[in-house]
Structure 1
Amino acid sequence: MGTRLAGKTALVTGATSNIGRAIAVAYGAEGAHVVVSGRDQRRGAEVIAEIVAAGGRADFVAAALDGSAKASGDLAAEATRILGGRIDVLVNNAGIYPGSSTVSTDETTFDTVYAVNVKAPYFLTAAIAPGMAERGSGVIINLGSWIARLGIPIGSLYSSTKGAVETLTRAWAAEYGPAGVRVNAISPGVILTPDMSANEDHPAQVMMRGTPAGGSGSPDAIAHAAVYLASEESRFVQGTVIDVDGGRVGVAVIAG
């Protein structure tokens, strides 16, 4: 067990798989009491068991963040209750990615993706940040994406939502920073999922060829950055988007 987040409380959305799960497990390993939030009770129980087995403390709260202020507010209230009246760290990780083109995206899909990826974290932050500001401390970490700043042919809808999240990061830093609340974001590159691990020709894997890292990253890479941003080590970091993408955005990729 580490101590970088000892005595802290944290809420991580979309924490039952991949990046969210890795962040929740890392927070538990560093001493935080973590509320793991997601849709799937079974997967949530697995994450809780992993954290507890390592000596951490965690609880699961089921939530379908549909973009409504009520859904976000209900999650904020229940997490606050479980965590003893305060949330020190909020990680807005939950999101959905439809790999559709602009023409093939219907209005229902458009509204759903914006509801989950933008409205849900917006209203969750609105429910939690004022309490942080009143106490004079808190951390909010948003999950952006490398394709918010580097266009790809498929994914205009998703990339626009992540662009919105990165803009909100700066706006919230200006709004809540003077009250002691640090707001930053992490922009992951291509992160391995189970279906990608066994397929080196997966389109996402191919997009990382030629980068300084030479391939896709692991969820743990994002979790390490999330621990840093939640800890006192980053107390002078405000309104920043940290690229954890193997150099995909910042370095020229030479096809070969």
Structure 2
Amino acid sequence: MRDITGRNALVTGSTSGIGRATATVLAGQGAYVLITGRDQERGDEVVDVIRAAGGKADFLRADLSDASSADILAELALDTAGGRIDILVNNAAIGALGATAGFDEALYDNHFTLNVKIPFRLVGAIAPTMVERGSGAIVNITSMAGQFAIPGMAVYGACKAALGLLTKNWAAEYGPSGVRVNAVSPGTTRTPFVAPLGDALEGLAAQSPLGYVADPAEIASAIAYLASDDASFVNGVVLNVDGGRTAI
């Protein structure tokens, strides 16, 4: 098992799904994990699970609805973790299906705020503190929808494509200072986030060579790898964890 004891991790959107699985894995490997989300009860429940297993975690409530909320979270996280965040996982996201024509403008803006602006602000606030120490790992969660067309996912896919390119730019910007920036691009994964897809989820999964819907823990394992010293020479990579879907 990887040992990241003594490191502090901030995982956004970590009260369910891939974020929760990632927080649990990182805590199991010795990190002190800051759980974030909008629901206090769900956040407390994740913290209780981690602590019951012998890990260290606290919950920071954050709605991440605008730039100022990201700035507030960054400041609170740094204060809570003693001024040091070693691992930042940008996982919080929104995704809605819809045709381009008639797509609600407010919903469009919400997508780009949470999926692009919030990671941008968090990296801008936290990466410089990593640069000062000469080390740190940032992992962004993109999507296979940001790499090829999926009907009805134009807005969500555009957001994730933007985050993928930001990952590469940040890797170039912060890499010389010892801060690695990578991304994980999940395929179909069984989370509350994709529950609205219903039976269509199985159909999407069937298009990949492995042909099944992933468990969040399978994605979390890849995220934890990129956050660890095992990936010490990995920088600027978008790692596809999609059962081979982008390989065909």
TM-score under structure 1 length normalisation:
0.93
Q: Distance in 1 between matches of 2:218 and 2:171?
A: 24
- Give the 5 Å matches for 1:78-157: 78-157=76-155
Offset, 1:82: 1.2
Aligned to 2:213: 216
Name the counterpart of 2:227: 230
Mapped pair 1:20 → 2:19: yes
2: CA distance, partners of 1:211 / 1:121: 29
Asked whether the 8 Å contact 1:136–1:180 carries over to 2, the reply is: yes
Query: What secondary structure does 1:249 align onto?
Result: helix
Q: Supply the distance in 2 between the matched residues of 1:66 and 1:247 (Cα, whole angstroms).
A: 34
Change (3 A) 1:49 1:127: same
Q: SS where residue 182 of structure 1 aligns?
A: strand
Q: Which amino acid aligns with 2:184?
A: I
User: Mean Cα displacement is larger for which, 101-110 or 11-20?
Assistant: 101-110
Q: 1:42 aligns to what?
A: 41
State the shift of 1:167 in Å: 0.4
What is the Cα deviation at residue 91 of structure 1? 0.3
Using the TM superposition, name which of 2-11 and 21-30 deviates more.
2-11
Q: 1:210 to 1:64 in 2, by over 3 A?
A: closer
Equivalent in the alignment of 1:240: 237
Matched positions, count: 248
| Contiguous gaps of at least 5 residues in structure 1 | 252-256
Q: Secondary structure at the match of 2:245?
A: coil
Structure 2 unaligned residues grouped into runs of 5+: none
From 197, 204, 207, give the equivalent of 1:207: 204
Task: State the alpha-carbon separation in 2 of the partners of residues 85 and 61 from structure 1.
Answer: 15
SS class of match (2:24): helix
Superimposed CA distance per residue, residues 233-255 of structure 1 (whole angstroms, 9 cap, x where no aligned partner): 0000000000000111112xxxx
> Does the CA contact (< 8 Å) of 1:67 and 1:118 recur in 2?
no
Q: Which amino acid aligns with 2:54?
A: G
Against the structure 1 CA distance between its residues 112 and 210, is the aligned structure 2 distance closer, same or farther, given a 3 Å change threshold?
A: closer
* Change over 3 Å in CA distance of 1:186–1:200 after alignment to 2: closer
In the TM superposition, what whole-angstrom CA distance separates every residue of 1:196-229 from its partner, at most 9, and x where no partner exists?
78x9971121111142211110100111011101
Residue type of the partner of 2:110? Answer: T
* 2:131–2:178 contact (8 Å) kept in structure 1: yes
Q: 1:34 to 1:201 in 2, by over 3 A?
A: closer
1:120-199 → structure 2 map (5 Å cutoff):
120-193=118-191
Provide closer, same or farther for how the CA distance between residues 207 and 165 of structure 1 changes in structure 2, counting only shifts above 3 A. Answer: same
Q: Deviations over 1:65-100 (max 9, x none)?
A: 1131x2111101111111111000000000000111
**Cα distance in structure 2, aligned partners of 1:54 and 1:79:** 23
In 2, the alpha carbon distance for the partners of 1:194 and 1:34 equals 22
